[in-house]
Amino acid sequence: MIEKGCLHENRWHKDLHNIRRRWSTTFNKDVLDLGILSTQISEFANNCLHGCSKPTSALVECFSEMEKLVSSWRRNERDEDYKCKQGDVCLRYKVSFLLKQTSKQYSRKMFALFEKNFMVGVLGVNVVDENKYDERNILYITTHNDPADGDKRWFVSYDSVTNQAQCSCRGFETKGLLCSHILRISNLRNVRQIPGSYVLKRFSMKAKKDIYLPESIPSTNYDSDLIFRNELMRFSYDLARRVEGCTIAKEHVVSSINVLSKQIDHLIDDEEKQRNNNIPESEKVTVTMKDPPLKRPKGVSNARMKAHWERGRRQTRITSSYLLFNM
């Protein structure tokens, strides 16, 4: 097309080539885009607000529906956070060491994607060739069992010392998850634990662990105190679960808590003394409060209160004619 149209020196063609990263995903394989094909706000808004507005809807109705949509998003996020903090994920194959490791690190949604890539790599990817550059670096050539992919090949460069790998599909660089080709090579080399650099913090189960900052929230706010209490209780419960079965760890936790409790008592006492010293002398007035005279209210009996077994008991009267005539 370029040769037939003589577009070698065309200005529009050069400008289009200079901004090729903006309109072609092929040139963005080194950018983390999470699989997003378009960054235009109009397309994103049309997809999200498709059911919120109608041609006959008023502006107020559109905003109210949009608030409901945002509330549903936040509710789903809270539900996912709650599910992640409740326990481990149920594994399809409990014999895999990689799945056991990642199930404790990834969130539920991301682990489902990782498990899918792992199964595709183990069952659907073939290693057709292996080339050793040296004793450390190895190049693997992989293909898919799917006939739709044809003879397409993916190249995986693997470091046998650090277990670092890089694939030509750029799956980790663009989506943040290891692709099926790298997982196939890891399974081939009996790798039982993937490096920590491949588990991004944004996808981990504890992604929101460092979000809460107590110094940025006023201590007089009841909501902030409640959030801090819940976070501390959750952290304590998690710590208690981690030390189960280790006597030394339990003793260390108990001794550390005792030391921390004493330090907190000293800090509270010092703060209270400092607060009392800052009070002016004119406000330090001691007032003696006396109890008002008591008087029995009307309708209150002075009789003894009945016990529990006496309340439901009734006095029975003699109604037998035999006893009346023989008296």
pTM: 0.56
Contacts of 16 (CB under 8 A, 6+ apart): 23
Is 194 within the bounds of a domain? yes
Indicate the DSSP class of residue 200. -
Q: What is the pLDDT of residue 127?
A: 87
Q: What is the pLDDT of residue 324?
A: 47
Give the model confidence (pLDDT) of 111-165 as tens digits: 888 998 898 888 888 888 888 888 788 888 888 887 777 788 889 998 888 888 8
Is 251 within the bounds of a domain? no
Give the model confidence (pLDDT) of 82-95 as tens digits: 777 776 677 777 77
Is 122 within the bounds of a domain? yes
Domain count, the chain: 1
CB neighbour burial string for 240-268, b if at least 16 within 10 angstroms, e if fewer: eeeeeeeeeeeeebeeeeeeeeeeeeeee
Is 309 within the bounds of a domain? no
Is 130 within the bounds of a domain? yes
Q: What is the pLDDT of residue 101?
A: 84
Per-residue pLDDT, averaged over 182-192, amounts to 87
Is 305 within the bounds of a domain? no
Q: Map residue 204 onto helix, strand or coil.
A: strand
| Residue type for position 277 | N
Q: What is the pLDDT of residue 259?
A: 92
> What is the extent of the structural domain holding 188?
97-203
3-state secondary structure 120-136: HHHHHEEEEEEEECCCC
Is 104 within the bounds of a domain? yes
Q: What is the pLDDT of residue 220?
A: 47
> Please, where are the H alpha helices in the chain?
2-5, 11-18, 20-23, 41-48, 59-86, 97-103, 108-124, 171-175, 180-188, 222-242, 247-277, 308-311, 321-325
Q: What is the pLDDT of residue 33?
A: 67
Q: What is the pLDDT of residue 102?
A: 85
Q: What is the pLDDT of residue 263?
A: 92
Q: What is the pLDDT of residue 214?
A: 46
pLDDT category of residue 12 using cuts at 50, 70 and 90: confident
Per-residue pLDDT, averaged over 233-245, amounts to 84
Q: Map residue 2 onto helix, strand or coil.
A: helix
Give the model confidence (pLDDT) of 191-209 as tens digits: 888 888 888 887 877 766 6
Most confident of 28-32, 52-56, 183-187: 183-187
- Mean pLDDT, the chain, as a whole number? 77
Q: Which two tokens stand for residue 112?
A: 């489902």
Is 174 within the bounds of a domain? yes
Q: What is the pLDDT of residue 95?
A: 78
Q: What is the pLDDT of residue 256?
A: 92
